[in-house]
Every structure is written in C-alpha cells, then in structure tokens.
Structure 1
Amino acid sequence: METLIKLSLITHIAAGTIALLTGLIPMLAKKGSRLHNRAGLLYVYCMIAVAASAVLLCVFQPFKLFRLFLAGIAVFSFYLSFTGWRATKQKKTGPAFGDRVLTFVTLAVSIGMIGFGGWLLSQSFSVVSVLFTFFGVLTMTFAVQDVRLIGKTPEAQHWFFQHFTRMGGSYISAFTAFVVVNIGRIAGDHVPAWLGLAGWIAPSLIGGMLIGRTVRYYKIKFSTPKKVAVAV
C-alpha cells in the first residue's frame, strides 16, 4: 500500500508539472500545427494521470477534506481537458457513447460535491465547504451543457469554441490547484488570509478575461464576411 501511495504521488507531481509546462505550448503555437496538436494531446494525457493519481491518493491515504476537494478539482480539470480535446473529433457527429458515459459520471461527481459541500455548510461555515459547493456547481454547469448536446447536431463553430475554452479552463483549474497547494511552501507557514484567497481568485479572473477576449476576437472574425477579389 505504501508503495502504491508513493508511486501515485510521484505520478501526480510529474504529470502535473509536465501538464503545466506543455499546456502553454498550444496557447502560443500556431493553431492546427503539429506542435499545437501534439503538445495538446500530451497535456490531455497528463491530466488523465493527474486525475487518476489524485483519486488514488485520496482513497488510500488517511481521509482529509482538502485532499478530497483536490481530487474533485483534478477530476474537473481532466473533464474540461478531455471534452475540449474530444470537441475536435466531434465537429459533425456530436458526442459518442464513451463521451456520454463520462458526462454522466462527471455529473454524478458534481452532485456529490454540491451535496457534500451543502452538508459541511450545515455543520459550520468554512472555506472548504464553500469551495466544495462552488466547484461542484461549476462542474455541474459544464456537464449539463454536454447533456443538452446529446442527440443534437452541434452548431458549425461549436467544436472550435468548446475546444479552446475548455482546454483553457482546464489549465486555469490545474494552475490554481498548483498555486494553492504550494503557496504555503513558497510564502511560509503563516500565509496571510488575503494571499490564500488571491491564490484561488487571481488565476480564474486573469484566465477568464483572456479566454473571454479570445472568444470575442474569433466571434468577430467568423462573423465578418470575407472579401472576394473580383478580376477586372
């Protein structure tokens, strides 16, 4: 058991570090290029390893609320990255059977997070209870979006926007978890409350603004008619 825990921890740290580094490449590389595609796929594989190792660490180590919460965040980050990657394979067909199963599993996880967070809040108010509820609702929001797409033909550019918004959201979530876990090691044992709160909020605010700006840019680009050269 101890060996399994050590291997899971090593896998979690290694995969998380590689994901944070390689996740930057698709953002900067030319869209659709070999570098963009391969780095993005490596990022997805790393997020699968991060989520799986986080769940194993949560199951086989002594129970801690924060550890359980981080496992939920890992599942959330994985779901965003995986559905973002799968969007490029579903340009015309929509979600396959495996995608639907994953969606409903994630939906169940989100319900569990919300329910557990609500139960914690009923016992006493705490930051962890609020975070459980908040990220549970956030996870449910994305899962419900995918449930609504089942059996429907996706819109022409739906896959494009889902791809980069979810991959970007996954990176923000993974980066936030990295900051929160390591902020104590960087700033010392006595971390000010405002700094811990900033660790949760700042990545989402900055990343959300960048994603929103990118969405607006491409919507304008796609809605602008292309000029056709006329031979004289």
Structure 2
Amino acid sequence: MTGYAAFVTLHIAAGTVALITFWLAAVLRKGSARHRLAGRVYLLAMLLVIASGVPLTLQRVLDGQSASAAFLGYLLLLVTTSVWLSWRAIRDKAQPARYLGRAYHALAVANPAAGLAVLWLGLERGSPLLAGFSLVGILVGADMLRRRRVIPTQPRWWLEEHYAAMVGNAAATHIAFLAIGLPRLLPALQGPSWFYLAWFGPVLLSIAAKAWLDRRYRIAAPARPARTAHA
C-alpha cells in the first residue's frame, strides 16, 4: 500500500467512526458519561479526518489540481473550526475570555477570507459548488465575530456554542458520507442532482437544526424592570 493509499484508508476509517459516534452522542442523554465518551471519540475521529486530509490536499497540489487542492484546504479549515469550537466551548465554559482568545479570532478571520477566495475561484472556474459553498465560510466567520460581542453577556453561552459547532460537524460528516461514500456503494446516486443535494442538503438541514435548538435551549433575555411612574 502506498503512502497516499494509506492516508485515504485512514481518512475513510476515521470518517466512518465519526459518523457512528456522532449519532451515538446525539441519541444518548446529554451530559451523561456515555454521551461525553461518545463525544470524545467523535472529536478524536474528526481530528484524524483533518490530519489525514492534509496529505490528501498536498497530493492535489503536487498533481497540479490547484482548484481541488484549494477547495479541500478550505473544507479542512471549516471542519477544524467546528471541531475546535465544539471542544473549547465545553473546556472553557467557565472562562469565556479564554475561549475568545487568539485562536478564536484567527479562525473568525480565516473563514471569511478563505470563503471569499473560494468564491472568486468558483466564479472564475464557473463552479456552482465552489461559489455556493464559499458562503459557508463567509457566514461562519461573520457569526463568530458577532458572537464575540454577545458571549460575555450570556451566562450559558457555552451551550449554544457547543451545539452550534456540533451541528456544523454533523453537516461535514454527512456531506462526506452522502457525496463521497454512498455513491461508491450505490452507483445510481452518481448523477448531478444527487451530487448537489449531498453537498447542500446537509448544510440546509444544519441551519434548520440550529434554529430548532436555539428555540429549545436559548435563555430569554431578562426583562427590564418597569420604570416607576412619577406623580
């Protein structure tokens, strides 16, 4: 087995573990020991996905596939961001200032910058996938900058940060399965309709899931005290 093939195998194996453990963590009682264990295994699997994805991206560069390499690098940035946020939100829940440190700021700037680069590349190459998916990084970065001002005022900020990042992780995990893994098992799903559905469907579902979780878990802002009427 060549080095490249070994990284491909590791990438697929780690992605399979991530898909299984994501749903384990999703169905287990939140905060339980088994939920935390499944979550740790999931994040470790995602770290392997990221690590094994780096040489796959470099191979694209060596093969002269600059657009493919740029898009894969962009996807690795998106996944790195959601994995980092979901982990640090729990680890730093008592220290929001630490959570909002240099790494957070770097990711908040890198995502929209990379998104704009991919948007330009998509328009230049006439690729609807690149142009459309560029909006993910742009919106993620914009929301991170917005949340940087809001987080210090929210007592349970870490909960929203954690589930929002895990929703992003879910989109990444299921895109990999639906767009890459499943068509290999079912060749009938290799048409353009399934291709775009597999890439953009999980993103739209993640937005809906985030909105539902916001309604379920977000704490309402405290009511303002009524002003005393003057005689």
Give TM-score scaled by structure 2 length: 0.79
- 2:127 corresponds to: 126
- 2:138 corresponds to: 137
Check 1:178–1:190 CA distance in 2 against 1; reply closer, same or farther (3 A cut): closer
Number of matched residues? 219
Out of 87, 100, 103, the position equivalent to 1:101 is 103
- 2:93 corresponds to: 91
Asked whether the 8 Å contact 1:176–1:203 carries over to 2, the reply is yes
Q: Where in structure 2 are the equivalents of 1:139-218 lying within 5 Å?
A: 139-145=140-146, 148=148, 153=152, 155-188=154-187, 191-218=190-217
Asked whether the 8 Å contact 2:71–2:118 carries over to 1, the reply is no
- 2:50 corresponds to: 51
Distance 1:11 1:90 in 2: 30
Asked whether the 8 Å contact 1:77–1:174 carries over to 2, the reply is no
Q: Could you list the runs of 5+ residues in structure 1 that have no partner in the other structure?
A: 224-232
Asked whether the 8 Å contact 2:119–2:130 carries over to 1, the reply is yes
Out of 66, 84, 97, the position equivalent to 1:82 is 84
Identity fraction in percent: 23
- 2:74 corresponds to: 72
Deviations 1:2-57 (A, max 9, x none): 84323321221111110011011121111111111111111111111111211211
Distance 1:140 1:82 in 2: 14
Distance 2:177 2:161 in 1: 24
Distance 1:175 1:53 in 2: 18
**Matched residue type, 1:15:** A
Shift of 1:186: 4.1
- 1:230 corresponds to: none
The worse-fitting range, judged by mean Cα deviation, of 169-178 and 91-100 is 91-100
Where 1:138 maps in the other structure, the secondary structure is helix
Query: Which has the bigger relative contact order, CA under 8 A and spacing at least 6?
Result: 1
Deviations 1:115-172 (A, max 9, x none): 2431441x342224314522331342354346x359x735201101111121122111
Q: Please, what is the CA RMSD of the aligned residues?
A: 3.1
- 2:117 corresponds to: 115
Distance 1:184 1:81 in 2: 26
Q: Could you list the runs of 5+ residues in structure 2 that have no partner in the other structure?
A: 221-231
Asked whether the 8 Å contact 1:15–1:46 carries over to 2, the reply is yes
Distance 1:86 1:154 in 2: 18
Check 1:129–1:207 CA distance in 2 against 1; reply closer, same or farther (3 A cut): closer
Distance 1:29 1:47 in 2: 19
Check 1:63–1:107 CA distance in 2 against 1; reply closer, same or farther (3 A cut): farther
Check 1:139–1:206 CA distance in 2 against 1; reply closer, same or farther (3 A cut): closer
Check 1:190–1:178 CA distance in 2 against 1; reply closer, same or farther (3 A cut): closer
